[in-house]
Amino acid sequence: MLLPNHVFILYTLLRALSVIVANIKVETQDFASLRSNQTQDFASLHQNQTMLSLYLHIPFCQHRCSYCDFNTYTSLGDLQEVYARALADEVAAVAGNERRPVQTIFFGGGTPSLMSAASLDHILQAVHTHFDVAAAAEISMECNPGTISAAYFAQLRQLGINRLSFGVQSVVASELQLLGRTHTHDTVVTAVRLAQQAGFDDFNLDLIYGVPGQTLPSWETSVRTLLDLAPTHLSLYCLTVEPGTPMQSYIRTGKITPPDPDLAADQYELACQLMAEAGYDHYEISNWCKPGRECQHNLTYWRNGDYLGLGAGAHGHADGIRYHVVKQPRTYIKRIATPAATTFPLSPAVKAQYSLDQADQISDTVITQLRLLNEGLDMTAFEQRFGRTPQAHFGDTLTQLLDWEMVAIHDHQLRLTEKGVFLSNQVFHRLI
Separation between Cα atoms, residue 394 and residue 318, nearest integer Å? 26
3-state secondary structure of 331: helix
Residues 150 and 55 in one domain: yes
Is 337 domain-assigned? no
Residues 84 and 201 in one domain: yes
In CATH, what number is assigned to the domain containing residue 156?
Answer: 3.20.20.70
Residues 264 and 292 in one domain: yes
Number of domains in the chain: 3
* Domain assignment of residue 24, given as a range: 1-45
Residues 8 and 133 in one domain: no
Is 282 domain-assigned? yes
Q: Are 208 and 179 in contact (CB under 8 A)?
A: yes
pLDDT by residue (tens digit) across 304-349? 999 999 999 999 999 999 999 999 999 999 999 998 889 999 999 9
Residues 141 and 40 in one domain: no
When pLDDT is averaged across residues 190-207 and rounded to a whole number, the result is 97
In CATH, what number is assigned to the domain containing residue 405?
Answer: 1.10.10
Q: Are 289 and 236 in contact (CB under 8 A)?
A: no
Predicted local confidence at residue 30, as pLDDT: 52
Is 363 domain-assigned? no
Residues 34 and 67 in one domain: no
pLDDT by residue (tens digit) across 157-174? 999 999 999 999 999 999
pLDDT by residue (tens digit) across 78-89? 999 999 999 999
Using alpha carbons, select from 425, 427, 422, 65 the residue that is nearest to residue 241.
65
Predicted local confidence at residue 17, as pLDDT: 29
From 301, 333, 349, the end of a domain falls on: 301
Is 212 domain-assigned? yes
pLDDT band at residue 45 using 50, 70 and 90 as cut-offs = low
pLDDT band at residue 36 using 50, 70 and 90 as cut-offs = low
* Crossing angle of the two packed helices 150-158 and 185-197, in degrees rounded to 10: 40
Residues 226 and 138 in one domain: yes
Residues 32 and 126 in one domain: no
CB atoms within 10 A of CB 151: 10
Is 311 domain-assigned? no
23 contact partners, CB below 8 Å, separation of at least 6: none
Q: How many helices (H) and strands (E) does the chain have?
A: 17, 15
pLDDT band at residue 6 using 50, 70 and 90 as cut-offs = very low
Residues 94 and 8 in one domain: no
pLDDT by residue (tens digit) across 392-420? 999 999 999 999 999 999 999 999 999 99
Residues 24 and 118 in one domain: no
Predicted local confidence at residue 93, as pLDDT: 97
Is 416 domain-assigned? yes
pLDDT band at residue 37 using 50, 70 and 90 as cut-offs = low
Residues 71 and 107 in one domain: yes
pLDDT by residue (tens digit) across 102-135? 999 999 999 999 999 999 999 999 999 999 999 9
Residues 155 and 7 in one domain: no
From 246, 267, 301, the end of a domain falls on: 301
